[in-house]
């Protein structure tokens, strides 16, 4: 299920939630713990908006300390609907321990909240099931250590503790992780394998896009063709050594082989309704025990169907690495 604005349930009437403080804490933290669907940032906004009372008196300072025995009242008109929607988003768990969560993200799901976004995000869905992620920091992005685009599916790591968030973020920062993607692209890449080492930055003609620019951030991607479907398309394995915004999509478009279905950097596709890009493998060192693990995310149905259709049009011997995916 992909949660969208169209699936939002009817907003309930205002509700007053009451809870008793169990131990001394900041008011915004106490509220976010009592209402797991809220991030610390959202809880702070509720306090500042005057939605919260302590022992019957309104309090608008989020850092106010509350102590055991005090009664907090929260006017939360939208919280039940948000909580219901977040709880309904399926999470495909590949691995979890006390510190780390590895998921296979479905396409169409945004990773974290953004201004003006009216849909449930991955981190909200995670927080609905693992409220401890709300304790990691003061932002609404607690637990996030890297990102996938909305319409990119596949393996993503999240932290369940502050310790894990630091450890995992450092690995990504120091480029100690391994990241491999599957991508269906237009045309016949020549050569069949290669390295694209080209800096990326905002597109001068359209800043919401990225482009290869002379003085951009360094970006390096390595690709190889796994299956070639005539001159129509190819299935690639792409490994990235940096993690720039839209890196694979921009690099492949720059060499003349945009990702199928990528309407921002290429063209719409009749065989898949979104960019045909899937985070296939992710290797990280676990925060819990220091062990190196590589996680593999099975591709979703739409990518499998696209591969099947291309194999029918252009019979090929399935690549041994992915022979069973379709």
Which active-site residues does the annotation give? 149
Residue 57's H or E segment, with its range, is: strand 57-58
Distance CA 33, CA 190 (A): 54
Name which of 311, 241, 251, 316 is nearest 277 in CA terms: 251
Which positions ≥6 away from 153 have C-beta within 8 Å? 104, 105, 106, 107, 277, 278, 279, 297, 299, 300, 303
Query: Are the beta carbons of 129 and 120 closer than 8 angstroms?
Result: no
The pair of three-digit structure tokens given for residue 246, joined into one six-digit string: 């839209």
Distances from the Cα of 231 to the Cα of 88, 235, 247, 258, angstroms: 42, 12, 24, 14
Name which of 198, 258, 187 is nearest 222 in CA terms: 198
Name which of 298, 324, 302 is nearest 105 in CA terms: 298
The pair of three-digit structure tokens given for residue 225, joined into one six-digit string: 């063709």
DSSP secondary structure letter of residue 270: S
The pair of three-digit structure tokens given for residue 314, joined into one six-digit string: 């252009």
Distance CA 257, CA 193 (A): 13
| Pairing label, strands 220-229, 233-240 | antiparallel
Which positions ≥6 away from 58 have C-beta within 8 Å? 50, 52
Query: Are the beta carbons of 64 and 26 closer than 8 angstroms?
Result: yes
């Amino acid at each position: 299920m992909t949660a969208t604005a169209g699936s939002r349930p009817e907003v309930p009437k205002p509700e007053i939630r009451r809870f008793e403080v169990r131990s001394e804490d900041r008011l915004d933290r106490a509220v976010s713990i009592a209402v797991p669907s809220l991030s610390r940032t959202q809880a702070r906004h509720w306090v500042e908006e005057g939605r919260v009372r302590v022992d019957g008196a309104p309090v608008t300072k989020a850092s106010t300390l509350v102590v055991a025995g005090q009664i907090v009242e929260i006017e939360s008109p939208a919280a039940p609907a948000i909580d219901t929607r977040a709880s309904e988003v399926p999470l495909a768990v590949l691995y979890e321990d006390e510190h780390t969560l590895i998921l296979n993200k479905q396409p169409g799901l945004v990773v974290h909240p953004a201004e003006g976004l009216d849909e449930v995000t991955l981190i909200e869905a995670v927080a609905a099931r693992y409220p401890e992620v709300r304790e990691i920091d003061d932002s609404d992005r607690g637990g996030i250590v890297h990102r996938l685009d909305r319409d990119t599916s596949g393996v993503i790591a999240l932290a369940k503790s502050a310790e894990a968030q630091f450890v995992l973020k450092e690995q990504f920062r120091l480029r100690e992780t391994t990241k491999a993607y599957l991508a269906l692209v237009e045309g016949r890449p020549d050569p069949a394998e290669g390295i694209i080492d080209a800096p990326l930055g905002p597109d001068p003609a359209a800043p919401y896009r990225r482009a290869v620019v002379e003085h951009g951030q360094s970006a390096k991607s390595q690709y190889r063709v796994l299956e070639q479907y005539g001159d129509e398309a190819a299935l690639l394995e792409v490994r990235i050594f940096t993690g720039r915004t839209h890196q694979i999509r921009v690099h492949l478009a720059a060499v003349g082989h945009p990702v199928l279905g990528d309407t921002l950097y290429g063209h719409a596709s009749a065989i898949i309704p979104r960019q045909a890009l899937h985070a296939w493998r992710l290797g990280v060192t676990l925060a819990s025990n220091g062990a190196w693990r590589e996680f593999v995310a099975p591709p979703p149905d739409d990518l499998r169907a696209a591969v099947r259709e291309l194999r029918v049009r252009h019979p090929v011997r399935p690549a041994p690495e992915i022979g069973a995916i379709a």
